[in-house]
Amino acid sequence: MPDHGSRILNMAVPVVPQAPRQAVPIDADILARGKQIDQKALFGYRLERLRAELRKRDYAGAVLSDPMNLRYATGTRNMAVWTTHAPGRYAFVATDGPVILFEFTSSRHVTDGSPIVDEVRPCTPWIYFLAGPRTEEKAHLWADEIDSLLRQYGGNNRRLAVDRCDPLGAMRLLSHGVQLFDVQEAAEQARMVKSAEEIACLQSAMDVCDLAIDRMREALMPGITENQLWSLLHETNIAHGGEWIECRLLSSGPRTNPWFQESADRVIQAGDIVGFDTDLVGPFGYLADISRTWICPGGTPTDRHRRLYDLATQQILHNTALLRPGLSFREFAEKCWPVPEEYVPNRYMMMIHGCGFVDEYPSIAYVADWKDWGYDGVFEENMSVSVESYIGEVGGPDGIKLEQQVVIGAQGARLLSRTKLVDALVP
């Protein structure tokens, strides 16, 4: 029989020449500023902040599996997004003792060289994906090793803080007489106040974010889809050493009301409102979180658009001006800008939230929600927060989303973004 397969494989296939895709333009100044950040000082500050919170609660140590906590404590990064749903790497942080990182054997080289990790050991993952029917066996091995470290470096203190500890491992630790506590309070309190190096990292992330927004603004025209426009944020971020985007919050026209519609393949039309929330995890893993609302070229904003935009701007400016060290969360809530009644049902879920690697403590509730969600605390110098606003009536044709990220200084709030807020609606 003729060998048609060989004949087909040997046929000459014409090659159609294509123009090479141009690389994403790089801003060399942003990269250069990032290289000036003292990584050793950055890592050391974060570890000592965490240890201070562990001591305050009399914990002998912590076992960290959450990628955010792991990075804060060890300065290492490996498959952060994947391990949010498939935890396998973890660290034992002794309150007074070593930092021991448990890494995937095949990728231990990825995290070599951290100036604050004292030892790297092979991890013992016990998620079902990797361990299958041997999950209980692996969980016992994991817990036995953690118990051994706690005895070695904690002495008689059996108080261990953990973040993600599924039942099999937790029960095995409890059977050893280990007392388990949720580490998240200590971790969030540690992460709340930033060092000079952390603020520089936040600024680096925002510089990348601003650059991406410039490119989005240039690309916005009738006929582009939401997803196409949104991709420019990702592309610019990755090209400058950024990492991921937390959400898909870009929408247009009627999809902007209510807020929180995810980016889709909707074609943006002339005169459409286009709103987005960056949630950008940029260089060094730090967050750049701002929102802007524009109108697509080819149309003009209506009087209603201008009214809604003016209200959202008032909320942002008023609430930002309140921020100062020593102000309590409750006092802020009582003095905050009053949302007009017709916009209350669709208002943003919180007025302010902390920023670091991702959204962090605190989240400040409205006075109307205080009974259900409010808690007190105090704003401190060198906290970074994002101030939120969404204005859109129930059933309205669209809405306005604005947000500013700031660092709280001795004299008040300092903006991180250079992207204009006041005239953002009109191109």
The CATH code of domain 196-415 reads 3.90.230.10
Inform me whether the pLDDT recorded for 32 exceeds 50.
Answer: yes
State residue 11's pLDDT score.
45
Task: Give the CATH H-level superfamily of domain 33-192.
Answer: Creatinase/prolidase N-terminal domain (3.40.350.10)
DSSP code of 277? E
The sign one gets for the Cα dihedral 137, 141, 142, 148 is positive
Candidates 391, 421, 226; CA nearest to 305 is: 391
Domain definitions of the chain by residue range? 33-192, 196-415
Q: Helices 39-56 and 196-219 meet at what angle, rounded to 10? A: 120
Range 252-263 average pLDDT: 98
384-391/400-409 β-pairing: antiparallel
Q: Rounded to the nearest 5 degrees, what angle is found at the Cα of 157, between the Cα atoms of 55 and 164?
A: 70
The residue written with tokens 């060890």 in the block is 74
pLDDT band of residue 7 (cuts 50, 70, 90) is very low
pLDDT band of residue 4 (cuts 50, 70, 90) is very low
State residue 22's pLDDT score.
72
Give tens-digit pLDDT for 380-397. Answer: 999 999 999 999 999 999
Q: Which helix (H) or strand (E) holds 258?
A: none
CA distance 226 to 219: 11
CA distance 26 to 244: 17
Say if CB 184 and CB 209 are below 8 A apart. Answer: no
Range 98-124 average pLDDT: 92
Equal CATH topology for 33-192 and 196-415? no
Give tens-digit pLDDT for 190-202. Answer: 999 999 999 999 9
Inform me whether the pLDDT recorded for 1 exceeds 70.
Answer: no
pLDDT band of residue 247 (cuts 50, 70, 90) is very high
Range 147-170 average pLDDT: 96
